[in-house]
Structure 1
Amino acid sequence: MNTDTFVLVEVNNVWKLYGKFVANENISMNIEEGEIVALLGPNGAGKTTLVKQLYGELNPNKGEIRVLGSKPTDRGIKKHMGVVPQECEPYGDLTVWDNIYYMARIKGVDKERAKERTKELLEQLELSDKGKTLGRDLSGGLKRRLLISMALVNDPKLIILDEPTTGLDPQARREVWDILLKLKKEGKSILLTTHYLEEAERLANRIYFIYRKIIVEGTPNEVKDKFANWYEVIDYSTGNVYRVKGEDEVKRIIQQLNGKFEVRAPSLEDVYLEVIKSVQGVH
């Protein structure tokens, strides 16, 4: 952790239980100012449970969560958060303008500032031409932009996005990526959960693999360097794929090949699948 950077979120030894079922086990993590942190894990791994504790919908059974030095349930802290929960929809019977404006009012923004913020966000997220469109008539990608606008309306320091691009086509997904990278440049801190490893690798400063507890943490490159101790050699003339360890073994294999071939280092997705598979085998 960079000691010169302010830590917005501290999670210390957090447990969340439902009866005898352990959803989160002794989780510790942090989110620094101006970075994107990604939580990665399969369905049922406890990502959404952890996220709900970070924005105060749930309380941990053990451990402590601090957001800007206080509990996330404190009303004053909620003013500094913007949240897009999983499977959230804008209000279908309200226009895009009204969705943003009334969310600002709900969050305590005064009328004039709410109007200003609505106009600013329509322009920032390229929704100006959709201001009079009803929420239900938007495409999936435009709905996500609107939801992000609603989360940003109080100018939060921390933005929490639970699977923000699930169900979007590749173009809409990349449009959301561009928005998130722009917000990071503006100094916002972002926590996102995702199933898309490419998304985490492209966006996140740091990642956490979670399967009830934290399995792996680090930058995408640190995680790949730690676990990617093999290469794939693809022989295009035969279609054979060889998984080999060490550069000497790679050289030995390619010297035996005729025609086109490719040597590929493992991607973050390859590493993730290996790690999660090994953990699931234990449970």
Structure 2
Amino acid sequence: MTLNKPIITIDNVSKSFGKHEVLKDINLEIQRGEIFGFLGPSGAGKTTLVKELVGLDTPTQGENLIFGEKMPSLSLMERVGYMAQADALYGELSARENLEFFASLYGLKGQPRKKRMDEVMEFVHLSGDINKLVSNYSGGMKRRLSLAAALLHEPELLILDEPTVGIDPVLRKSIWDGFYDLKARGTTLIVTTHVMDEAEKCDRLGMIRDGKLIAVGSPAELKENTGSRTIEDAFLVYGGA
């Protein structure tokens, strides 16, 4: 039996800014069709790592492979969707105009573009606000619009940096239901979070502390291996608390 190749391989990756090392010898494989979560406090290195995975940064040592190709690679960008921690939106434009701009970057035109815009706005529950200026959006609405933009081109791999920060619990549950639906259709999702109940929703977790990958496994495995009742307790055990 031949095993499927991982969709992502992180091979001996370290990253330094001057003398400050923010990632330290990260080795990891992420499989196609799973929801993988990077869990860790602010400043742990999560954002630096996912920026490297989408080609916005490069490691000081090691390499990141996506679909078997070394990143950064412009040819892969159409297969990857990315939602940054900071919303990259144009406040002076409406949500519709923002989506039209991002759609044009991916070559979406005509009726397929309109259909896809309607679909992603429905996914994030913003259909009724599509003509509103983004400057009049709340912080949570901007997060949801950023997610819609990342989904426009139906990427095979979706990388989301703190996707539900500022979103109320009811909508957060709805968005996670959408993530499960995307997974069922074969999309691979990578989510960074520092929220423990959100970490529980992932198929597997990589716990990061001080730039080091301190544990990898399913939430159930991580709790069982540490004799913990919660992911938070397991994180504390792996972190040496």
Greater relative CO, 1 or 2 (CA 8 Å, sep 6+): 2
3-state secondary structure, aligned to 2:7: strand
1:191 aligns to what? 190
1:272 aligns to what? 235
Separation in 2 of the partners of 1:52 and 1:183? 22
3-state secondary structure, aligned to 1:33: coil
Q: CA deviation at 1:193?
A: 0.7
Q: CA deviation at 1:48?
A: 0.9
Q: CA deviation at 1:205?
A: 0.7
1:41 aligns to what? 40
- Cα distance 1:201–1:154, how it changes in 2: closer, same or farther (>3 A)? same
Q: CA deviation at 1:180?
A: 1.7
1:208 and 2:206 aligned: yes
Residue 272 of structure 1 aligns to which amino acid in structure 2?
F
Q: Is the 8 A contact 1:14 1:64 kept in 2?
A: yes
Separation in 2 of the partners of 1:170 and 1:101? 29
2:180 aligns to what? 181
Separation in 1 of the partners of 2:232 and 2:140? 24
Separation in 1 of the partners of 2:163 and 2:98? 18
Residue 85 of structure 1 aligns to which amino acid in structure 2?
A
Deviations 1:109-143 (A, max 9, x none): 33443223212323333332222122222333332
3-state secondary structure, aligned to 2:55: coil
Separation in 2 of the partners of 1:158 and 1:62? 24
Deviations 1:14-34 (A, max 9, x none): 111112221111101122111
Residue 216 of structure 1 aligns to which amino acid in structure 2?
A
For residues 61-72 of structure 1, what are the structure 2 equivalents within 5 Å?
61-72=60-71
1:108 and 2:107 aligned: yes
Residue 205 of structure 2 aligns to which amino acid in structure 1?
I
1:75 aligns to what? 74
1:251 aligns to what? none
Bigger-Rg structure (1/2) = 1
Separation in 2 of the partners of 1:20 and 1:93? 40
- Cα distance 1:142–1:155, how it changes in 2: closer, same or farther (>3 A)? same
Separation in 1 of the partners of 2:79 and 2:142? 23
Q: Is the 8 A contact 1:89 1:143 kept in 2?
A: no
For residues 18-167 of structure 1, what are the structure 2 equivalents within 5 Å?
18-167=17-166
Q: Give the TM-score normalised by structure 1.
A: 0.78
Separation in 1 of the partners of 2:164 and 2:122? 21
Aligned residues: 240
Separation in 2 of the partners of 1:179 and 1:94? 26
Structure 1 stretches of 5 or more lacking a match? 229-264, 279-283
3-state secondary structure, aligned to 2:206: strand
Separation in 2 of the partners of 1:113 and 1:132? 19
Separation in 1 of the partners of 2:172 and 2:88? 17
3-state secondary structure, aligned to 1:143: helix
1:241 aligns to what? none
Structure 2 stretches of 5 or more lacking a match? none
Separation in 1 of the partners of 2:135 and 2:179? 23
Residue 25 of structure 1 aligns to which amino acid in structure 2?
K
Q: CA deviation at 1:107?
A: 2.5
Q: Is the 8 A contact 2:124 2:175 kept in 1?
A: no
Separation in 2 of the partners of 1:210 and 1:111? 43
